[in-house]
Structure 1
Amino acid sequence: MSTRYAALLRGINVGGHRKVPMAELRTLLGELKYDGVATYLQSGNAVFSSASGDEDSLAAELEQALADRFGFPVDCLVRTGGYLEALAGACPFPAAELQGKQLHVTFFDQPVEAGRFAPVDAAAFAPEEFRLGDRALYLYAPDGLGRSKLAEVLARPALNRGLVATARNWNTVVRLVEMTRD
């Protein structure tokens, strides 16, 4: 039986650097023998089906294939459609009442303890807020990510040391849920 996955590529196609054209990404995923391949936007979102492997082994396989093809490393997080659906359902903010640009999810490669973010004085950034989820951080930024002071603090290397992290806005999360439904 085949499982539907989303691949989240980190740091590609930003400012003309580390270019991974989506057509080439789709071709690469097909060459890896994945089925039902599709991409979303230019920022490194792909969905596919695979009957073998797990999130970590599929991510490692994709990272190696990207490095071989494009000549630079690309961190990848692979998540099942079921995980994405549960993540969306567990959102601690009223997503249906917000614009997609106001809500973001940072995906992590591993579970994150709340103590990691204890140094952040969350009250100082109100009305912005964040909450931790399953290998994810939800961020409510009413003025958008580009103007978020809290997002700047949460992205500091000291807070994220040892983690692979990549963020997506809520519109992208919802679309990936839809694309990975069996």
Structure 2
Amino acid sequence: MTEYVALLRGVNVGGVTVRSADLKALFAESGFADARTYLASGNVRFSADGEGRALKTDLERALAERFGYDAWIVLVTLAEMRAALDAFPFDASDEARQPYVVFCADPAVREELLASAEPSDEDPIAPGPGVVYWTPPKGSSVDTAFAKQLAKPRWKAVTTTRNLRTVAKICA
């Protein structure tokens, strides 16, 4: 069995409400072992046999049917998430900045996102293993050039962003 993390995009914001207990129940009913949810932002760690792409498709369909919304997830193994956490290149303790990890559905998405970005000292980004690291100044995570790039519809179904502290909690 492989340990996976399903990172749901767009839940508990904008009118899409998914309670953690209901989310955990869906994973258990779908036959996934050891399902645990983290925070209220759509993070589920679980164990499963099977290939990631097929699991992703099955989970998105089950989420859409159960909760009535267009479900998008980024599915990573726990090992991939730990590698992303361990490789964070910025000072995570900098109180003036917000440490983020942008998870991408696949390497091509990550490369396309990086190519479309305009990194700067004020809005730093860096490539990582299957992710893009980002550390904008606190209070500006919707105003920077990279924030505006991430908000484009192109990225809605293929990326999701988590605070580094959330990633650490999931990996613990």
Q: How many angstroms apart in 2 are the aligned matches of 1:43 and 1:116? A: 23
> Are residue 38 (structure 1) and residue 33 (structure 2) matched?
no
> Are residue 102 (structure 1) and residue 116 (structure 2) matched?
no
| Alignment equivalent of 2:69, drawn from 69, 72, 77 | 72
Gaps of 5+ in 2: none
CA RMSD of superposed structures (Å): 2.4
Q: 1:37–1:156: structure 2 CA closer, same or farther, 3 Å change rule?
A: closer
Deviations 1:21-50 (A, max 9, x none): 111111000011111111011110111111
TM-score, normalization by structure 1: 0.82
Cα offset, 1:175, TM superposition: 1.0
Kept after mapping to 1: 8 A contact 2:4/2:47: yes
Report the counterpart of residue 11 of structure 2 in structure 1: 12
Q: Which amino acid aligns with 1:55?
A: G
Deviations 1:128-167 (A, max 9, x none): 2001223211001132454651342331427x46961110
* Superposition misfits of 4+ residues, deviation over 2 angstroms: 97-101, 112-123, 144-148, 150-154, 160-163
Alignment of 1:1-182 (within 5 A): 2-15=1-14, 17-50=15-48, 52-95=49-92, 97-99=93-95, 102-111=98-107, 112=109, 114=111, 116-118=113-115, 120-123=117-120, 126-144=121-139, 146=141, 148-157=143-152, 160=154, 164-178=158-172
Gaps of 5+ in 1: none
TM-score, normalization by structure 2: 0.86
Q: 1:14–1:34: structure 2 CA closer, same or farther, 3 Å change rule?
A: same
Describe the SS at the equivalent of 1:49: strand
What is the count of residue pairs matched by the alignment?
171
Identical-pair percentage: 32
**Greater helix proportion:** 1
